[in-house]
Amino acid sequence: MVKRALDAGAHGICVPLLNTADDARKLVSSAKFPPQGKRGFSPELAIGKFASKRTGDYLLQANDALVTIAQIETKEALDNVDEIAAVPGIDVLFIGPFDLANDIGHPIIGGIMHDELKAAFDRIYKAATDNGKWAGIYCNNGTEGHEYAQKGFHMVSIGADLVDIPSHFDNALCMARGPIVRIAPNECSVCDPQAWKEIYAVNAGFTKTDFYLTQAPNLSPHADSFTQLDEKKHTFRRRMIQHIFTFKTVLDNEKYIDVVTELFMQRMAELADKGTVFDISEWVHWYTFDVIGELFFGRMFGFLRERKDIGGYIAAVDIILPHAIRVAVLPKLLWPLQILVLPFSAKLRRSLSVFKSLTAVSKKLVDERVESGKGRPDMLERLLEVSREKSPDFDITDVYTESYTAIFAGSDTTAVAIRSALYNLCKNPDAYAKLQREIDQYQAEGKLSSIITYAEASNMPYVTAVCKEAMRVFPSIALSFPRHVPKGGRNLCGYYIPAGYRVGVNPAAFHFVKSIFGEDADDFNPDRWFRSDAKEMERHMFQFGQGSRQCIGKNVRAHVTLFSHER
């Protein structure tokens, strides 16, 4: 594979999960021509990528010019880093921070790095420079890249295609080109309020694309409400279960959320008493996972109790999600890509194994409830009631599906919303102070119970405004929700879009349209929700989707976000 990439004209090769000096020597042998290595000569493609180089010139400079990069992203590689750095022909030691963090037992969550991980970075940097090699590191953005460049790193990244392309560029393109932008040969990104209503309106004829098929849990012969493409089947299924997700049902289950929240607050108090610096983002994710466990499986998964990522579930989500989204862009390539990628990606194989474990655990918890007879009136019991009444249209496998779907549709998205509120409050001290004053005032006036209810929290205007603004500036799903243009085509934003084209709205761009959210749309400003056009802005919030396909669990997420933030 190394030879194939270089012969195709690549100017270098970067190999992941390189663990030993022997691995490094094998890499050099594959990448270099004799006498340094054993790479065979295949000039046609490679030389063609180097403009007018003659064969002799190419051979003379290839070993020096082509960059050979060893990724250091495991504990084993860290232990052997000095030996790896000393291997002749290795040009760069490149740090894979997330994989390295997971492998040494200190995952990066919310951007917070453990001191041991920082020390590992320093050790890798020193090994590289001591041996006359370059040091590189993966960074999420330009700010991080600048920080590591200032520390002396020679090679840094400044972003990831998964995040930058769908969110930043959608927004920038809409600003530069207008409300509709062609982002692929057969796909347009739309950022217009009128077109938005038409695309997602009930019975508008815009149908879901195969983008959604790769997200299916495949635990039942019936598709879940999110991945079902057929409108009639979706309506039929949604009618069977929508009563489970009503606002009243969520309020009836508030007592189960209370149990998790009390444990969360207990853990926060323990850390505060010790004066311990901790990653609140990590704890928030554990909290939302345990809330979903309590509601849909009858018990917490144990993240808060054990104070860690049980089973590595969250780390697995972080690894698999980028791959899942990339595959969703080309769903027909799902199986070919799995066949090609899985044999060479140990971390992806481990993550898929963790997912299978989570699937088994979730099914086991549902089966335990069934065997024990009728349980408490939580959301799992309501799903089981539907299975008893509606089988075979909705059977036990559908209970598995909806409960399992709730883990990913509810835990990660809710955690993102809470994190956004906390992060933006910390960056905006004026908003933080206003929020604190409102909470103190309501507490002094006796309007808050010892266990604060959702009703009490939702009556606090600034708390509510902060939550809305947090979900506006950082929607949990920063991707388009694509639809097929119906037969006959449609005119959108003054352009004719042919039938079969994909069109969609990305909330990460749409939430910043200034004609809707004001000239300060780029800023975090909860005060916007006290303006006269607040209801109009709220009608254009897209964090839960729109129309008949709107997120069925939005009341659960909104409830937990508001309730937890106020607490």
Residue of 514, 423, 482, 506 lying closest to 167 (CA atoms): 506
DSSP 13: E
Residue of 504, 501, 497 lying closest to 546 (CA atoms): 504
Paired strand residues for 190: 180
Residues near 365 by beta carbon (within 8 Å), at least 6 away in sequence: 297, 298, 299, 403
Strand duo 483-484 + 502-504: pairing: antiparallel
The residue type found at 216 is A
Q: Is residue 188 a known part of a binding site?
A: no
CA distances from 367 to 37, 299, 482 (A): 58, 13, 36
Residues near 441 by beta carbon (within 8 Å), at least 6 away in sequence: none
Encode 295-342 in three state secondary structure. Answer: HHCCCCCCHHHHCCCHHHHHHHHHHHHHHHHHHHHCHHHHHHHHHHHH
Is 417 exposed, middle or buried (CB count within 10 Å of its CB: 0-12, 13-18, 19+)?
Answer: buried
At residue 224's C-alpha, the angle toward residues 339 and 165, to 5°, is: 55
Is 136 exposed, middle or buried (CB count within 10 Å of its CB: 0-12, 13-18, 19+)?
Answer: buried
Instruction: Using DSSP, state whether 170 is helix, strand or coil.
Output: helix
Instruction: Using DSSP, state whether 131 is helix, strand or coil.
Output: coil
DSSP 88: T
The residue type found at 130 is D
State both tokens at 11. Answer: 């100017």
User: What gap in Å lies between CA 72 and CA 81, rounded to an integer?
Assistant: 8
Summarize the annotated binding site for heme as residue ranges: 551
Summarize the annotated binding site as residue ranges: 551
